[in-house]
Structure 1
Amino acid sequence: MQNPVSGSLRLLHIDASARLGESGRDPHGSHTRRLGRRLTERWSAARPHDIVSHLDVGRKPPRPVDAAWIAAAFCPPERRTLEQRAVLAESDALTAAVLAADLIVVGAPMYNFGLPAPLKAWIDNVVRVGLTFGFDRSRAGEPYWPLLAPGKRLIILTARGDYGYDADGRLASMNLVEAGLKTPLAYIGMHDSDTVAIEYDEFADERLARSIAAAETAVDRLVDRLASSMAGR
C-alpha cells in the first residue's frame, strides 16, 4: 500500500473467485481477476497518488457468521470479553477497510446465480450494527440508518457462464449477484454503483471473446470517466 498523499482517494479491490489465475494468462483462469487487475492498473496510472489495497477472499475466506460472532457483535462494545473481541478481530479489520475506502471494486463471479460463499461471508462481516448501520427501535420512522460517509462508490466486476443476465435480458430475474452486493451495501450507505460483466463463459467461442473485449473496453471507459470526475479530489 502506498503512503497517503493529501487529496488521495482509497480504492479497496476485492477478489472473490475460486480460480486463482487470470483468464488470458493462466489455464482456466478467472475473468473477474483479469478485469480487476486491468481496472486497478489503469486507475493507478491515472491517479498514482491514490491508495490501492487488495483483499482476496477467494484465497482467504473470512470467518462465516456463527453463534459466537453474533453474541459478540450484538454485545455493547464496553461489555465484550477478551474472547469476544478476538472473535470480532477479523470483522473489525474488514469493516475498517470499508469505512476508509472511497471506492470498492469487487470481482464477483456468478456461482449458481449468486455470490461466491466467501464474498457473502465478507458482506456478513462488514454489515455491522453500530459500525456500518445504526439501529434504534425507539427512533421515529425508520429504526435503521446507514453509517457510511456519503460519496462512496461500488464497482462490480462479474462473469457469467450463460448470457442475458442484464436488465431486461432473458435471465435477468436470475441475476442474484448484483442484488446480493448492491442491496446490503446500499443499506449501509453505498448507493452509487457500476457493473461490468463478461458472459458466455460456458460457450467458450467467439461470443466469449467478444464479451471479454467489450468488458475490457467498458472497464477502461469507466476508469477514465470516474478518474476524470474525481480530478482535484
Structure 2
Amino acid sequence: MTHLLHVNASARGDASRSLELATRFIGELETIDDGLTVERLDVFDGSLPEFGTVAAGAKMATFAGQGRTAEEERAWAEARAVFDRFAAADAYVFNVPFWNAGVPYPLKQLVDVITQPGWAFAFSPESGYRGLLEGKRAFVVYTSGVYAEGLPPSFGADFTTTFFRDWLGFVGITDVEEVHFAPTVVGVDVDGAHRAALDATLAAARRFTTAERFAA
C-alpha cells in the first residue's frame, strides 16, 4: 500500500488552477494503484504551528546538544507532530502557485516547521548537510498568473521553483516530477497552456505509477 500526502498550497479553493491539476494527477493515480491512500494537508487551514522565538530556541538547543526549557519542549513537540505526519508518506503531491515570485507564506511555514536537524536532515562538519527523507517521490505543479519562462523581467521573476527544488533536494527528495502551467491569467494562449499542462500531468501520473518506481 502506498501512502500519498497531498500538500495544497493554494488559497483559492475550487478556483485554483494548481489544485485542479494536482487533483487530476491524484485521480489518475487512483485509477492505476488500487492500494493508494491519499491524505491532504491544506497549508492555509490555520493548523500549522508557529515557528517563532521559542521554537527557534528549541532548534538551536538541539543543534548545540543542550537541554530545552518546558516551553521549548512544547513547541518542539508541536513541530514534531507535523513532521511525523509529513514523513509518514511514501510520496507527495504539491501544488504550488507563485506568490510575489516566491512560494505562498504558509508553505514556507510548513518547510520551516519540518526542516529540523535529526528529522529532515543531518549535518557533519566534515561533509555538510545530508537529507534524511530519501527514497520518497514527489510530483509538483507550479502555476503563475502572468509570469512565464521566456517573458521579459517586467512580467515577473521565478524564485518559486528554484527555492522549492532546492528544499526538496536538501531534505533528500530527489525523485521529482514537475508540471508548469503558466501563464494562467494573461497570455497569448492560456487555453493551450492549460491543455499542455493537463496532458503533462496525466503523463507524469502514468510514469509515477510504474511498478519499479512507485513501490511502498
TM-score clears 0.5: yes
| Equivalent in the alignment of 1:196 | 179
Runs (4 or more) in structure 1 with deviation over 6 Å come to none
Find the counterpart in structure 2 of residue 69 from structure 1: 55
Residues 165-195 of structure 1: per-residue CA shift (max 9 Å, x gap): 3xxx346993211111111221121112121
Corresponding residue number in structure 1 for 2:146: 162
Deviation at residue 164 of structure 1 after TM alignment: 2.8
User: Which one has the bigger helix percentage?
Assistant: 2
Instruction: Give yes or no for the alignment of 1:133 onto 2:121.
Output: yes
Alpha carbons 1:164, 1:171 under 8 Å: kept: no
1:18 alignment partner in structure 2: 11
Q: Which has the higher strand share?
A: 2
Q: TM-score, normalised by structure 2?
A: 0.87
Is the CA contact 1:10–1:102 (under 8 Å) kept in the aligned structure 2?
yes
* Larger relative contact order (CA 8 Å, sep ≥ 6): 2
Unaligned runs of 5+ in 1: 1-7, 22-28
- Kept in 1, the 8 Å contact 2:181–2:194? The answer is yes
Distance 1:124 1:48 in 2: 34
**Distance across 2 between alignment mates of 1:230 and 1:94:** 29
Question: Could you list the runs of 5+ residues in structure 2 that have no partner in the other structure?
Answer: none
Pair 1:177 & 2:163 matched: no
Distance 1:135 1:171, change over 3 A: farther
Distance 1:92 1:56 in 2: 18
CA distance in 1 between partners of 2:69 and 2:39 (Å): 31
Indicate whether 1:228 and 2:214 are aligned.
Answer: no
Give the letter aligned to residue 4 of structure 2. L
Q: AA paired with 1:69?
A: A
Paired residues for 1:82-93 under 5 Å: 82-93=70-81
Residues 73 and 222 of structure 1, relative CA distance in 2, 3 Å threshold: same
Q: Residue 31 in 1 paired to residue 23 in 2?
A: no
- The count of aligned residue pairs is 211
Identical amino acids, percent of aligned pairs: 25
